[in-house]
Amino acid sequence: MLTVVRAILVVVILAIGALGCYGFIKLRPRPKEVEQKEDVVEVKGVKAASRDVEVVLRAHGTAKPRNILAVIPEVAGKVVAVHPNLKVGNVIPKGETLIAIDQSVYKLQLELAETDIRRLESQKTTIQQSWKNDERRVELLRRGVELGRKTFARAKQLQAGDAAAASDMDAAEAMLLQQEQQLIAVENAIALYPQQLKDVEIMLSGAQTKRDLAKLSLEKTEIRSPFDARVMQSQVEKDQVVGPGPPILVLADDSALEISVSMDAQEFREWFPLKADAESAGGGGAHESLFTKVPNKKVCVRWAESPEEHAWSGRLARIERYDPLSRTVKVVIEVQAEAACSGGPGMMPLVEGMFCLVEIPGNIAEKVFRLPRSAVSFEQTVLLCEDGRLKTQPVKVARFEGESALISAGIKDGDVVVTSRLVSPLEGMKLNVEVQDEDIGG
């Protein structure tokens, strides 16, 4: 009974408390309603406009001379003279003697060869004259043999008729035999003259070859500059003995510089301006290939250390090779000396060793939108302002060029693209866009 009373008492107390709380809530003054205002974010943007854009392919490479010549002496000997300006960095004009090698040994070889030639020519003349003489002599001997035979025949008839002694017939026969032996000897000599003359001519040809070699060696004792040569390396001094072997000089031809750059094969395939098939044929009969399709197109070469102040005009020279390991195409740019030195006051000329940025005009990207690169996210999206609200739009990027991005799909003409950087942008947030008119990245 006591337990029931206690339970009822607890319920009554809780009810009174609840009624008291409800009374306090009802008596509380009602708060004033405040109108919520939506924040507007101030941003900058551009109005998208499609256009045809000439793609610019960019690659880096180091300038080097088109021709580098390692000089190796072709004859041995002591160096007797050295060009006074044969020092690294100096430029020696074409045709001037770089070094001279002692000629005394080669002069003696030339003199010996010329002596042999004179001796053999004299021997040849003697054989030819002897041949002529023996041909005349053999005619006389044949007539003598004929007369001797007739004389021997008469002596034989006379002996048969007892009109001549046996000794007369023997003398006639001996004379005939002697004449026949002389005829045979001369005929044998005449038969040998062609071979003797051939042997002399062979030896004469050998002597003439030795003479020519001696002359050639004499010419090679002087090493001349094959072009206006800049000395890159010099390892020769006067009185030094040199000969065929390691190079003693390395010369550079700065009349043209070349820059070999690597281009990604995929980028090359899409944007490099190869000649059309009809143009690459050229009528020269050359087998058509990638290497025959390089256009004679101007390019811009910039010094990587100062790209805005130092720029030169070059041209596409050739495609060097395709590298299967790095999957790149090696393209060679050529800059003539006149262009390399064409800068204004205070501008350095293009020289060997400069690391350069090469800008190659490529194919035309048709109907693309040029936007700041910063306006495109890593996920290939841009922020648009539609009806004053933020919208995230996926796009297709044709390529990035420096600080620009070329968009080929995802937006249309007239779309307002937000270019300001937003921290934690919310989809649908209200925007106030200041539309810029400048050509972004153009």
Cα–chain-centroid distance for residue 271? 22
Domain boundaries, the chain: 44-52+366-436, 73-98+221-246, 105-216, 255-364
Report the C-alpha gap between 116 and 65 in whole angstroms. Answer: 48
**What is the spatial distance between Cα 371 and Cα 52, in angstroms, rounded to a whole number?**
14
DSSP state of 30: P
Residue carrying structure tokens 């400069």: 354
CA-based nearest residue to 374, from 366, 382, 365: 382
Q: What average pLDDT is seen over the chain? A: 85
Burial of 438 (0-12, 13-18, 19+ CB in 10 A): exposed
More confident residue, 385 or 279: 385
- For residue 140, what pLDDT band results from cuts at 50, 70 and 90? confident
Overall fold of domain 105-216:
Helix Hairpins (1.10.287)
Residue ranges of E strands in 1-82 = 40-47, 51-71, 77-82
In terms of average pLDDT, the best of 223-232, 342-351, 411-420, 421-430 is 223-232
pLDDT of residue 442: 46
Rg (CA), the chain: 52
Count of residues making up the chain: 442
Predicted confidence (pLDDT) per residue in 237-266, tens digit = 999 999 999 999 999 999 999 999 999 998
pLDDT band, very low/low/confident/very high, at 170 (cuts 50, 70, 90):
low
**Which range among 96-105, 287-296, 431-440 has the greatest average pLDDT?**
96-105
| Cα angle 325-329-330, degrees, rounded to a multiple of 5 | 105
- pTM value is 0.69
Of the two residues 321 and 37, the one the predictor is more confident about is 321
Place of tokens 């040994």: 105
Instruction: Report, as an integer, the average pLDDT of 224-249.
Output: 93
CATH architecture of 44-52+366-436: Beta Barrel (2.40)
More confident residue, 17 or 337: 337
Do residues 366 and 55 touch, judged by C-beta distance below 8 A? no
The answer to whether residue 315 scores a pLDDT higher than 80 is yes
pLDDT at 400 over 80: yes
Asked if the model's pLDDT at residue 185 lies above 90, the reply is: no
Q: Which of 380, 379, 387, 378 is nearest to 415 (CA)?
A: 387
Mean pLDDT of the region 113-139: 88
Give tens-digit pLDDT for 150-161: 776 776 666 665
Report pLDDT for 223.
94
- The span from the CA of 332 to the CA of 316, in Å, is 6
User: How far is it, in rounded angstroms, from Cα 365 to Cα 408?
Assistant: 9
> Quick one: which of 91, 96, 58 has its CA closest to 352?
91
